[in-house]
Each structure stands twice: as C-alpha cells, then as structure tokens.
A and B are shown apart, each in its own frame.
Chain A
Amino acid sequence: MTKTRFDCDPDTDIAWCPGCGNYPLLAILKEALEELDIDPSQLVISSGIGQAAKMPQYVHSNFFNGLHGRAVPVATAIKAVNPSLTVIAEGGDGDMYGEGGNHFIHVIRRNPDITHLVHDNMVYGLTQGQASPTSPRGMKTPVQTDGVIAEPFNPLAAALSIGAPFVARAFTGDAELTKTIIKEAVRYKGYALVDILDPCVSFNKTNTFKWYKEHTYRLTDSWDASDRMKALEKAFESDPLPLGIFYRRTDRKPAFEEQLPVYVSDKSPLWTRSRPPELLAELMK
C-alpha cells in the first residue's frame, strides 16, 4: 500500500470485518487525495453513522462525524462558511438514501461544491443485516423475513432527474476506476455523487464480491458523459450494472456557495470577518 499524508496511526484498531469492501476503498480514497495533492488540514470529511461513516476515523484529516443521515447538511454548511476547504460527505446507502433521503434531494437542488461518496452494499451492516433502500426485491433478512417488498431505490436516476451535475458509479473491486472517479468527483466544481458498490461480507450473501464482478461492466472510453438523457437511460440498466462517470455537466453550473451574497465582494471565509460597531448602531436608528 502506498504511503500517504492521510494515513492514520498504524496502531488504530479498525472496526470493520475482515474482508470488508471498505478496506480497499480506504486505500483508494487516501491515494486519490494524495494524488490530488490536497493538504489534510484543508480537507473536511463529514459523515453520519454506519460502517461506511466510520471512514474518516481512519483518514488523517479534519472530520465531523455526526448523526445518522445528516452528513450532507453539515457538509453543505461547512462549504458555505469556508469555501476554501475541500469537503467530502461520506456514508452508506442506509445513511444517505434512507435516513438522509430528504437531504439527498435538496443537496442536489442546492449544488454545493462537495463530493458525495456513498458506499452502496445494499444492506444494513452496523445494525446487522436488515434491508437497505437499495436492497433487491425478494432479499430475505431477519426483518424482511419473507423478502423485501419495496422496489430498490435508484440513486443515479434520482440524482440525474433532480439535476445533479456529476453522477458516477464505482465498484471497490475495480480500484483503478474507483480512484479515477473519486479524483474527478473531487476536482469537479459542484455537487458530485459517487455511488460505490461495496460488498458486505457479513450480511449480504446475494451481492457478493463475485456477484458484483459478474454483474458489472465499465462504460467504454467512447461514452459521452455530457448527455444527461442518455445518462438517465444508462442509470436504469440494472443487470449488468454500468460503472463509470455517467454524467458530467459541461457548462458551468454555479455552486451553491458561489451564489451566496456574502461572497459577492469578499471571498474570505466567515471566521476571518468582523462586524463594525458603527454598522450595528444603524440598527438603533
């Protein structure tokens, strides 16, 4: 494994199961950040709760490890208050598409310049094996004892239809592609969703590493990522699942924080500013 500035203390007791897809993803993420030459003190990872949301614990960087489902509003605010920071919101499918479902809709509408990394293992890991919003129909679990009834959520199609300017799917078993996608997503000026297929070795006996290998394929080099409608069509393909950058909007859509009036004539982060008492005196006129 390549050494990076993002490596945590080697004695850290990592809480994931042996063989978890999060291990390769951790290595990929750190390498991607290193190759992007980001200073760890200028990076913030906002996460919620779940096995995926433990990721920042093992990355040497600033982090806000908050509540289940709420990483995205936190990330949006951090970026708004200090746009010079690189901000990543990271968590699992239950965290981001279930508990945080409403925020998923509205973060896309706002379009802050953040990277949204969602480890999608189609199951709940931390709470031990219940169905997630992306679990396939019919999947049996200790709670969905007769199989999942609901249709699986399609995050890519949802994101595209709401207007996300960057939408991609990766697979931890394809490290090279995943790293490329994460780097592109972080570089992209605007909201970037990366749904990352990530096998859960303990609770998802259907969608295993082998299953993903057999049921995914890379988009070809000739794929035109500038066509939103084609991307949407692609997002509805369910078996095999395409991997790659489905859509990257080419005309610049201004990011949320770029449009905030506080930055019209002053680009400095809020914490560096002060409010003169003369201005307050006007409130008593």
Chain B
Amino acid sequence: MESYSVVLSGEAGQGLKTIETLFMKLLRQSGYYAFMTKELMSRVRGGNNTTELRISSGPVYAFTDRIDLLIVLGKKGIRRLEKRLSPDTIITGESDHLSDTNVPCRKIPLPVQENLADLGGTLYANTLVSGLLCALFSCSPETAYRLISERFAKKGTDIVEKNKAAFERGMKLAETIPLRASLKKDETIATRFKALSGTEAVGIGALAGGCNFIASYPMSPGTGVLAFMASHADKYGVITEQAEDELSALNMELGAWYAGARAMVTTSGGGFALMTEALSLAGCIESPAVIHIAQRPGPATGLPTRTEQGDLNLALYAGHGDFPRVIYAPGTLQEGVELARRAFDTADKFQVPVILLTDQYFLDSEGIIPKIDFTQNHITQHITETAADYRRYAMTPSGISPRGIPGYGKGIVRVDSDEHTDEGLITEDADVRTAMTDKRMRKLAQLQDVEPELTGSGNYETLVVGWGSTYGAVREALERLGRKDIAFAHFSQVYPVPKSAKKLLARAKRKILIEDNVTGQFGNLIRQELLTDFDTRILKYNGMQFSVEELVQKIGEAVKL
C-alpha cells in the first residue's frame, strides 16, 4: 500500500474545514482511500490547528508522523511540527510563513494573496489550496467544480464563479510543487464507499439503532453527536433536547425509555461524572440506557480538545452499588456505526445501561468506509403489552422481566429507585433484597460478546493488546514491522471482558499492552479479571494519539527485550 501524508496548518477560524470537506469528497469520488485526523487548540479563533490527510491506494485508518507535504496557511504554523519534518518534506505557503523554521526541508513559496488579489483576497485561499491538492493527486476537476457549485450555490453565481477561479489558480500553482503522486485508483470507491467522521458514525449507528430521543448538555468532544442528531431530527423523528445540566440529561433519558422511547445521551468524562447517580438509577430500575462518553484528557477540565483513553475506569466503576453494565469502544469508523447501533439492542434486550466509549481522536477523524447495508436493519422493541396484573420486576430465570410501558395495556408500570418488590413497591424485606440483587446481576449471562479481533500471526509468541481508537495505528505499525511471531488482539467490547480473552492471552509468551492513558486502565482490568499481566505497557498521555512510527519503534523495542 502506498500513501501520502499532507498536513494543513492554520489558525482556528481560518476555514481549514472547507478544504477538508471538499477534498475528502473529491478523494473518494476520484477513487482513493483517505483518512483525516485533526488536532485543535481550545480556542475559536487564532492559535494553531493542524489537519493530517492521508491519501492512499489501500485502506488507511491511522495517524502518521511523516509529512510529505505541509501547507502553511498562517503564522507560526511550522514550529510545532518540526519534529515531524525531514529533508524530503515539502513545505509550501506564503513566503513570510516559511521562515518559521530552520529545519532543512524543501520550501516552495506559494503566492496565495498575489493570486487572489483580483478575486477579493484570502477569502478564497481554502479553495485555492483545494485546487492545488486536486492537481497534485490527479483528482477529477469536473467533480470538484460540481462540488463547489453545490457548496456555494446558496451564496449566488458570483461566489461560485470566484471559487472556481480560485480553484483553477490552485491547480495551476501545483506545477511549482515537486510532488507527483502516482497512486493507484479504484473507481468503485466512489460508489461503494462513504466518507464519514467518527461523530457521524456514532450518529448514524444511533439512528440505525432506533434512537428517537437525545437529551444532552454540550461538552467537547461529545457535542458533535448532539448536533448530528439535531440536524437529522426532523427527517428521522428524533426529540433533541439541550438539557440544563448533565443530571437532567440522563434523568430525561431514563424517563424517555420508561415511556417507550429509545434514548441516549452524549457527553465527555466530566459530564458523565455528573450523571453517575442516574447511571446507578438505571441499574436499579432496570432501565435501558445508552451513554456516549467522548473521552478527553482529565483530570478536571484537563485538555478539552485533545484525546485520551482515561475514562475507562470511570465508565467501569461509576455509580453506587452493584449493577450490570456493558461498555463498547469502537476501533474503526465502521465499528462506530455498528456498535452504536448494537448499544441500543443490548440496552433494550438486557435492560441495562450500555456505554459507548470513544474519544476526541476517533470522533474528529474522518475516513472512507464501505457502505453499510441497512435494508435488513430491523429494530426489535423489547416492550410488552401489560395485563391488569402486570408486575414490572416479575422473577424470571434469565433475570430479565418483560418490560411494560405506561399507556400500553391494562396494567400499571411502577419503577422504583428504592429496593422494590416485583410490583415495584418499596420494600425492606431482606429476602426480597437478595433475590432482586441476584436477579439484576444474572441478566447478562446470555449476553453475546463482541469478540476481540485477532490479526497477524495465527501462531504468535507475542500478543499486542489494545482497545478503542488505537486500532488503526497498532494495525499499521504491526504491518510495517512484518513479524511472523506477533499478533494483535483488539477489544471493542471492553466490559464485560469477552470470555474468549482468557485463551487468547494464555497462548502468548509475551504480552504487550497499548493504551492512551497513564495507568494502563484496560491492562489493570485484564489483570483483575483474568489474573494475568503484561510484560510491557506502552502508554501515552500527552493528549495526542499514537502515531504509526511511534508504535513501530516502541513495539520493536519491546519484542527485542
């Protein structure tokens, strides 16, 4: 697989998003695989944000340190990236922006302002850069013009024409850049694949899971899912409510499930911390719940726009008392869709809270995935028509009682946060308490695990273990290492730890853990559940995702030990 890495570096508010959106669409329609990651400063204007676009002839889903082409759109756009530059890196941008670094690399001035003076100035810089990229990667200009017309149609023909002109000038300027990408195209990508972000993956999965109610309080990086649902609310019939706080949000969700909706909340670690009492309530009243936690580095406010896998412990142990829960953590965008959908099924069927654990890196990244066929997507609502003598917590061998909702049937539905009888009435009867606890705790016995994905050597000596969003970087690092004795087990169901994990781990002579947090939270969970530990823990907690190169080096070192 051949790939190129292009980095855009600019200030917040400069409109990098215009380039990203246009170029990602263009790449897909031109028959390329692509993957985009972003790192942002916590500010609305200024600072320095970067976007990495990988353009490839094969599936790609990881962040790489290498930069083939760096396009600088603002001042101080290079210095933060110096460690990633090499003599082969081409840097282009206005000549006064290029003086930001002394690292030797190929600097090509790009007279953006000069080229745009007659069009009205830097307003069109993003479109010009899109034209430059289009030409460098031999994308179809006709497709680009169509996309530009669609994008700017609302602003009138004048604006459309000016953007087309800027795009054309960008294509012409590409002649000055000594980069000639010759990637194999696959024309079927345009029709069989879709470009989407992690945020969209979660939103689409939720809609496929039947979600028709979302209440949340804005908190980065989880807010995107609320906005996605709001933008699809009318067409898909979703009640979308911005709650006054997170306590209200999760309580609203539980009220919604109680009355027959399929509801979710989206938040981040800090917001979820405020929801923990309601999580425990879901456990006690045996309500389904879907909770999307978009992780960012803590403690407290931490690094609001950066990434980390530091809230696994919070998700595992949040809520007072004992009650069952399920935690999914998607590793790919496709898994994001599938697990968000599955979260609703699991929550409804087993009447338990299900947590979908993502992070900033996952949500803000964008990739190209095979289209998912929803024609067979049938949503089973696990609710029952109540009879006059209905008992919400009727004892059953599985522990799962038929779930009635108010207004459907002759019965009445009582749910209670106090310990309760099978009718849902307060009790302090010690035997009932024991029986109810046992009932709740046996509900997941029939849960079908999302099996860990094992890739690499079938006959491994070393097993690399990861979960959630590190998937792409670990896979690519192991492909580059090309060792016949290493395999990779990726867990996207992190709790309950899948039953097959014990065998997978037992077969390995050496075990390596990879996580984006300082204590190795998943490793500790494995140790606690399976009484086995890791020989090496590769941990990162500076707010950035692992790069492929970093893992090649660290895994390489670990297997030499």
Binding site for B on A (CB under 8 A): 12, 15, 40-44, 46, 49, 54, 56-57, 60-67, 69-70, 73-78, 80-82, 84-85, 102-103, 105-106, 260-262, 266, 269-271, 273-275, 277-281, 283-285
Chain B residues near A56 (CB-CB < 8 A): 414
Given A63-B414, A271-B260, answer yes or no on A280-B374 (Cβ-Cβ < 8 Å): yes
Chain B residues near A105 (CB-CB < 8 A): 244
Given A270-B212, A270-B213, answer yes or no on A42-B234 (Cβ-Cβ < 8 Å): no
Across the interface, name the chain B residue whose C-beta is closest to A257: B239
A74–B412 CB distance below 8 A: no
B379–A261 CB distance below 8 A: no
Chain B residues near A281 (CB-CB < 8 A): 373-375
Tell me how far the C-beta of B517 lies from the nearest C-beta in chain A, rounded to whole angstroms. 30
> Which one, B140-148, B203-211, B467-475, B477-485, is touching chain A?
B203-211
28 intermolecular pairs with C-beta atoms under 8 Å apart = A15-B426, A41-B386, A41-B412, A57-B425, A64-B255, A64-B258, A64-B415, A66-B251, A66-B285, A76-B252, A77-B261, A78-B256, A78-B258, A82-B407, A85-B259, A103-B248, A270-B259, A271-B408, A273-B212, A277-B377, A279-B235, A283-B204, A283-B207, A283-B208, A283-B374, A284-B371, A284-B373, A284-B374
Chain A residues near B215 (CB-CB < 8 A): 73, 77
Tell me how far the C-beta of A251 lies from the nearest C-beta in chain B, rounded to whole angstroms. 25
B418–A41 CB distance below 8 A: no
Given A67-B277, A73-B255, A260-B239, answer yes or no on A277-B406 (Cβ-Cβ < 8 Å): no
A262–B238 CB distance below 8 A: yes
Tell me how far the C-beta of B485 lies from the nearest C-beta in chain A, rounded to whole angstroms. 39
Interface presence of B458 (CB below 8 A): no
Given contacts A266-B237, A273-B212, 19 further A-B contacts (CB under 8 A): A42-B407, A56-B414, A65-B418, A73-B243, A77-B213, A77-B263, A78-B259, A80-B241, A80-B256, A81-B213, A81-B256, A102-B244, A262-B212, A271-B381, A271-B408, A280-B208, A281-B373, A283-B208, A284-B372
Across the interface, name the chain B residue whose C-beta is closest to A266: B237
Given A40-B412, A41-B407, A274-B379, answer yes or no on A73-B238 (Cβ-Cβ < 8 Å): no
B281–A67 CB distance below 8 A: yes
Chain B residues near A75 (CB-CB < 8 A): 255
Interface presence of B236 (CB below 8 A): yes
Tell me how far the C-beta of B228 lies from the nearest C-beta in chain A, rounded to whole angstroms. 10
Q: Which of A42, A54, A56, A277 has the most CB of B within 10 A?
A: A277
A270–B406 CB distance below 8 A: no
Chain A residues near B559 (CB-CB < 8 A): none
Tell me how far the C-beta of A50 lies from the nearest C-beta in chain B, rounded to whole angstroms. 12
Tell me how far the C-beta of B276 lies from the nearest C-beta in chain A, rounded to whole angstroms. 11
A81–B260 CB distance below 8 A: yes
Chain A residues near B383 (CB-CB < 8 A): 271
B426–A54 CB distance below 8 A: yes
Interface residues of B in 251-271 (CB under 8 A from A): 251-256, 258-261, 263
Across the interface, name the chain B residue whose C-beta is closest to A261: B234
Chain A residues near B411 (CB-CB < 8 A): 41
B410–A67 CB distance below 8 A: no
Chain A residues near B256 (CB-CB < 8 A): 77-78, 80-81
Contact with A along B349-390 (1 / 0, CB 8 A): 000000000000000000000011111111101010010000
Across the interface, name the chain B residue whose C-beta is closest to A262: B237
Given A63-B415, A275-B236, answer yes or no on A82-B259 (Cβ-Cβ < 8 Å): yes
B236–A73 CB distance below 8 A: no
B210, B248, B379, B381: the one contacting A106 at CB < 8 Å is: B248
B426–A60 CB distance below 8 A: no
Q: Which of A75, A85, A269, A271 has the most CB of B within 10 A?
A: A271
B212, B252, B377: the one contacting A73 at CB < 8 Å is: B252
Cα separation A60 to B414 with both chains bound (whole Å): 10
Tell me how far the C-beta of A259 lies from the nearest C-beta in chain B, rounded to whole angstroms. 11
Tell me how far the C-beta of B287 lies from the nearest C-beta in chain A, rounded to whole angstroms. 9
A61–B412 CB distance below 8 A: yes
Chain A residues near B281 (CB-CB < 8 A): 66-67
Given A67-B278, A82-B259, answer yes or no on A269-B254 (Cβ-Cβ < 8 Å): no
A271–B414 CB distance below 8 A: no
Cα separation A60 to B247 with both chains bound (whole Å): 28
Chain B residues near A46 (CB-CB < 8 A): 255
